[in-house]
Amino acid sequence: MGSIPTTRAKLNLIRVEKVTGYIKDSYLELRNKVTWPTLKELQNSSVLVLIASIIISLIIYVMDAGFGQILGFIYDAIY
């Protein structure tokens, strides 16, 4: 029974080492291998996303209002 806690302790140590290694590797990859956008690129992308979101929301609004009108006419004709 004395070897079971030792074995568990070794397994826990191995898990901690794997997680620590993963975190270190992830940090190094983010630091050295990832190409981060410049501030100007980030601003341009943000403006593009904002404009696309506005356009899509307007399209959805127009479709919703149109279907609402159509269904209103149908309901008025039935009742």
What SS3 string covers 18-67?
HHHHHHHHHHHHHHHCCCCCCHHHHHHHHHHHHHHHHHHHHHHHHHHHHH
* The pLDDT value given to residue 6: 78
Contacts of 37 (CB under 8 A, 6+ apart): 45
Whole-prediction pTM: 0.59
Q: Rounded to an integer, what distance in angstroms lies between the CA atom of residue 44 and that of residue 38?
A: 10
Q: Rounded to whole angstroms, how far apart are CA atoms 63 and 71?
A: 12
The domain locations on the chain are 1-36, 37-79
What does each of the 79 residues of the chain score in pLDDT, given as a tens digit?
555 667 888 888 888 899 999 999 999 999 999 999 999 999 999 999 999 999 999 999 999 999 999 999 999 998 8
